[in-house]
């Protein structure tokens, strides 16, 4: 296991970050995770990150199970174990069963029988966006047929945002 590739900012040690740390605590349920302790090395990036990811996680119309399945799948495909483990409790709270979560761990395939039609479609979209970036027209037509425009934008933004998160985590060796 590699060591984190940049210093970790201990919350409360830099007075100029106090307001940002309070915002992060408010949005994150009281604590500042290891990811945010790394992000605090750049206050503008940490602030923008918090705004974007809070919008994706907390202000989206996408059902929580779909959001969390997309996040878990992105984490697996990008080998971001920190992200996966951080979102397992959220997926469980959103009603995703442990067996379905565990079926996502192998990057090659998951057990489609464990997911409803919407969940399977979101996982398919996540795989295409994460592995190939370009989404085939036929797949987008199916996504557009099942979800309204706001939901499509929010699904795509969620998958894209968590690809950013996972790539940041992996590049800087942020793990549990």
Q: What is the pLDDT of residues 108-133, one digit of tens each?
A: 888 889 999 999 999 999 999 999 99
Q: Residue with structure tokens 């037509």?
A: 141
Q: Is residue 90 pLDDT above 70, yes or no?
A: yes
Residue 29 makes CB contacts below 8 A (sequence gap 6+) with: none
C-alpha span between 99 and 118 (Å, rounded): 18
Torsion angle of alpha carbons 36, 91, 88, 8, nearest 10°?
A: 0
Average pLDDT for residues 137-150, to the nearest whole number? Answer: 98
Q: Is residue 1 pLDDT above 80, yes or no?
A: no
Residues of the chain with CATH 1.20.1290.10: 64-171
Of 132, 122, 147, 129, the closest CA to residue 69 belongs to: 122
pLDDT at 176: 72
pLDDT at 2: 67
Architecture in CATH for domain 64-171: Up-down Bundle (1.20)
Average pLDDT for residues 53-62, to the nearest whole number? Answer: 95
The DSSP 8-state label assigned to residue 42 in this structure reads: S
Q: Is residue 148 pLDDT above 70, yes or no?
A: yes
Query: How deeply is 156 buried, as exposed, middle or buried, from its count of CB atoms within 10 A (0-12, 13-18, 19+)?
Result: middle
Q: Is residue 107 pLDDT above 90, yes or no?
A: no
Chain length of the chain = 176
Give the pLDDT band of residue 28 (cuts 50, 70, 90): confident
């Amino acid at each position: 296991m590699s060591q984190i590739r940049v210093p970790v900012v201990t919350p409360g040690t830099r007075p100029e970050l106090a307001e940002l740390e309070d915002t992060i605590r408010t949005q994150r349920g009281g604590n500042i995770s290891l990811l945010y302790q790394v992000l605090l090395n750049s206050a503008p990036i940490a602030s923008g990150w918090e705004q974007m990811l809070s919008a994706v996680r907390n202000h989206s119309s996408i059902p929580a199970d779909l959001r969390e399945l997309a996040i878990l799948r992105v984490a697996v495909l990008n080998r971001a174990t920190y992200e996966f483990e951080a979102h397992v409790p959220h997926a469980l709270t959103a009603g995703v069963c442990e067996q379905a979560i565990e079926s996502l761990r192998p990057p090659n395939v998951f057990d489609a029988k464990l997911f409803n039609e919407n969940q399977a479609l979101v996982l398919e979209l996540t795989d295409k966006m994460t592995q190939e970036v370009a989404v085939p027209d036929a797949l987008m037509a199916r996504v557009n047929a099942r979800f309204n425009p706001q939901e499509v934008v929010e699904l795509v933004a969620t998958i894209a945002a968590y690809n950013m998160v996972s790539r940041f985590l992996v590049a800087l060796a942020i793990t549990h």
